A = this chain, B = another copy of it.
Amino acid sequence: MLINELSKKSGISTHTIRFYEKSGLIKGYRKESVTSNNYYHFDEETLERLEMISEAKSVGFTISEIAQLIDAWYSNKFSKKQKLAILDEKLLALEQKLKEIRQMKKLITEFKNDVLEDRC
């Protein structure tokens, strides 16, 4: 599919998709059979990646962290051992985020009780 279709299917603007491409998160390919244009084509895997990228962004991972995750998953840049190390590191980061969020929830709940009982 071309970028416009990818954009519609993923819900991500073509501009942002191009930005992700420049950032190395996704990659289009050119069809050798076509010589009249230089349009990029994208496959289902790219759509999958974009969904993963959206989820990863929403939990607060940066572009370069997501790039690492993608390399650990889709590329052969790393050995099995290195891949596992990266994935474990990200799991640890998520565990930390869970802790912080639970703590913040507690804090806000305390705030709420104080407001309810007119202590502020």
Contacts and interface: CB of A to CB of B under 8 A. Distances in A.
Interface stretch (A9-17, A28-36, A89-97): A89-97
Instruction: Please state the number of chain copies in the assembly.
Output: 2
Interface string A80-103: 100110011011001101101111
B111 A72 contact: yes
A75 to B, nearest CB: 10
Interface residues of A, number: 36
Contacts of A2: none
Nearest to A96: B58
B80 A115 contact: yes
Contacts of A72: 111, 115
Interface in A50-78: 52, 55-56, 58-60, 69, 72-74
Contacts of A73: 111, 115, 120
Nearest to A56: B104
